[in-house]
Structure 1
Amino acid sequence: MDDRTLTDHLRRFGLSEKEVDTYLTLLEHGEAKASTVADAAGVSKRYVYSVSESLADRGLVEVRDHAVPTTIRANPPEEVVDRLRSDVEAIRPGLEERFSRTESETEQFEVVKSRATVIKRARSLIDDAESEIVLSVPEARLPELQDPLADAVGRGVFVLLVVSDVDTPRELDGPAISDGEMDAGGLRGTASVVRTWSEAMPTLLTVDSSAGIVAPPELIRGGVSDRQAIVFAQEQLAPVIVGSFLGNYWPVATERHATEPTELPASYENFRKAVFQATLHLRSGTSLVATVAGRWTDDESDAEFSGRVAGVKQGTVEPTNNEFPVQHSFEVETDEGTVSVGGQGAFIEDVEADLVRFDVE
């Protein structure tokens, strides 16, 4: 089998082109130092460490960090094949279940006429979230979603939450954020950042920028209403909803809670979460080093570099400093100069990032 065919097969298992190059280099060496793999694969040593952790999670390699210097060993191909075969068989029931369901759900939009169904759909979407949840919900309905939200936060999902229709909001360290039954302590595990607003607003939910719900306040409040909600599964629409959320509702709500910065080193595929964490660490006095993998926005060629994080532009946590609502970016000082980094769809920044890794300088 030639290299191109082997690369194509490995990429079908979710490996990026650089991950494949690194893995094939390790196969040829058996076991090697990160610097050796970096030179052979044409990537940075920091990137080799980052990719090796991902490959180790998949069972393809073993990182021997107990040795000095650290080495990376390719696992025997028969073990890898058995692992991949086992993974494929494990997802068969889920694939068959979802395929059966999608056969009857040809529509990308579902009209919902009851509050109970909206909450049911919202819980299901939140349960399936892998990367990011953006949600606005009335305080009266929040208890129905707190458990799945807490579970999402627990598995590392980035959650931005606006609790609307709040009466007499109080400070977070008070007995409650409102005169209702929800106490402030429950907010800390419910979302990455929580804001409250006294006004009624639509219930907006997007999950992983691919699916979500839009529901009018009258429907969610309960009672008799002829208003309807829309449940959608369309990647083109979800970013528009997120833009509306961040541009129209998030700025007018009052911040009540933000999580603590996570331990470093840490890697992020969700770029808003990466910028959020960078902001928290910089404000706590941490000197950050970022390793970025993505592409240059001017010519779409591969970009891989490391350097000190010089600053951020963000609108997630107060005080905000972005120049427009959806701007979330950071700057990295490299040997070649300062590079601005944005997320998916970046065009004003120098680099569109796919993967970001932060470490302490």
Structure 2
Amino acid sequence: MNSTELRDALEDAGLSQYQAEAYNTLLQLGTASATELADACAVPTARIYDVLRDLEAKGYIETYEQDSLHARACDPETVLDDFRDRATMLETAADEIEDRWEEPEVDRHMLSIVKRFDTVLQRAASFIRDAENEVQLSATPEQYEKLRPALREAYENDAIVKVSLHTDPDADPSAFDVADFEGVVTEARHRTLPTPFVLLVDRTGTCFAPHANSLNQYGVLVNDYTLTYVFHWYFQTCLWEVWDVVYAEGDDDPPFVFADIRRCVRTIEPSFSAGATVRASVTGFDTATGAAVELSGDIVELHYSGAAETDGTPALSQLAGQVCFTLRTDEGSYSVGGWGAVLEEVEATRVTITGVVE
């Protein structure tokens, strides 16, 4: 480090330009009178005495009288300790800035707009790891790979994990390997159109970013029940419903587990209409009190638009309005709705079909 760089470093450490100049010169001279020091550096003679007093107050030098005012540099240990303390503080500050930049605090905000997709991806991983009930993800295969560890963690925590992978139109769906999904997702589908990045977690957390070819690049981070419900319908209708299944765990026999009551009703409607006894357990909460609810019993009635005219599996359009069922338990009968239930007694966060008796 040359003299100029040392002066710059001293200024960065809190010395003024004149203080840094005088101290740097005194280090080279060892001992000097005030006037000799002024002649040897760029500090005006009229200012040298004030500068020396300030440096002495900071512990950098000591002054003494010898016919005139003289100065010499103190044992540098005090100065070095100060520098090291400053370096530690700056390093700590740098780490804190990096942490805050990489993990923006959005928990207190209903909606945040960010510029970097990396921020969206990092928040998505955080949301996924905290998932307790359901994860819905629309991503490219590359984005899926980056989020796979978090998705595996959510899956192992018993969350239902649905992934819609979007690729170029000419991509071969047979290129997907079952091993890519086992132990990570519950069901995966393949969409052959460019698609935004979308993540929905536990009916409250949403991460959104336009697809890579979009003119506008930004990210939206949502922590709100109602706004997430809007994204849920976009996911269901555009990113999930009409696309081919490339992986699904389980078999044709119960239990069947659902986080979405509409998916549940579509699955059981043919058997229910044929007179089968459908047994289910429900986890959710009381819509009047918010108290946690766990129920088990038989489904005795399905309600949705056009139920009377349905022949087989109802179309998604028939399930756009109110969808619910009546569950008869040993304690009584309960009306059970899904996400956003208002008219029903219970909002189900999970429905498990435990048996279908023909």
TM-score, normalising length from structure 2? 0.52
1:252 aligns with 2:235: no
RMSD: 4.9
Contact 1:332 1:339 in 2 (8 A): yes
CA distance in 1, matches of 2:303, 2:343: 13
1:130 to 116, 129, 132: 132
1:211 to 181, 196, 205: 205
CA distance in 2, matches of 1:240, 1:321: 20
CA distance in 1, matches of 2:120, 2:255: 39
Counterpart for residue 163 of structure 1:
165
SS at match of 1:189: coil
Deviation string 1:17-73 (CA, Å, 9 cap, x unpaired) is xxxxxxxxxxxxxxxxxxxxxxxxxxxxxxxxxxxxxxxxxxxxxxxxxxxxxxxxx
1:192 to 178, 186, 189: 186
SS at match of 1:168: coil
Counterpart for residue 150 of structure 1:
152
One-letter code aligned to 1:203: F
Counterpart for residue 42 of structure 2:
none
Counterpart for residue 196 of structure 2:
202
CA distance in 1, matches of 2:168, 2:208: 19
CA distance in 2, matches of 1:151, 1:242: 22
CA distance in 1, matches of 2:220, 2:126: 15
Deviation string 1:290-343 (CA, Å, 9 cap, x unpaired) is 245778989x9x9997543468799xxxx7744235876556577999976322
TM-score, normalising length from structure 1? 0.51
1:343 aligns with 2:338: yes
Evaluate the alpha carbon distance shift between residue 125 and residue 249 of structure 1 in structure 2; reply closer, same or farther with a 3 A threshold. Answer: same
Evaluate the alpha carbon distance shift between residue 274 and residue 191 of structure 1 in structure 2; reply closer, same or farther with a 3 A threshold. Answer: farther
User: By how many angstroms is 1:196 displaced?
Assistant: 0.9
1:272 to 257, 260, 275: 260
Q: Which range moved further: 248-257 or 322-331?
A: 322-331
Counterpart for residue 227 of structure 1:
217
Evaluate the alpha carbon distance shift between residue 341 and residue 167 of structure 1 in structure 2; reply closer, same or farther with a 3 A threshold. Answer: same
User: By how many angstroms is 1:194 displaced?
Assistant: 1.1
SS at match of 1:134: strand
Contact 1:206 1:242 in 2 (8 A): yes
* Uncovered stretches (5+) of structure 1, i.e. residues with no partner: 1-100, 178-182
User: By how many angstroms is 1:241 displaced?
Assistant: 0.9
Contact 2:125 2:147 in 1 (8 A): yes
CA distance in 2, matches of 1:234, 1:296: 20
1:308 aligns with 2:298: yes
Counterpart for residue 67 of structure 1:
none
Give the number of aligned pairs.
Answer: 245
* Within-5 A mapping of 1:74-85: none
Evaluate the alpha carbon distance shift between residue 120 and residue 350 of structure 1 in structure 2; reply closer, same or farther with a 3 A threshold. Answer: closer
Counterpart for residue 237 of structure 1:
227
Deviation string 1:69-121 (CA, Å, 9 cap, x unpaired) is xxxxxxxxxxxxxxxxxxxxxxxxxxxxxxxx998975433332223222222
* Uncovered stretches (5+) of structure 2, i.e. residues with no partner: 1-102, 305-312
One-letter code aligned to 1:145: L
2:115 to 94, 99, 113: 113
Q: Percent identity among equivalent residues? A: 26
Contact 2:164 2:240 in 1 (8 A): yes
Counterpart for residue 319 of structure 2:
324
SS at match of 1:145: helix
CA distance in 1, matches of 2:187, 2:321: 16
User: By how many angstroms is 1:133 displaced?
Assistant: 1.0
Counterpart for residue 56 of structure 1:
none
CA distance in 2, matches of 1:189, 1:295: 29
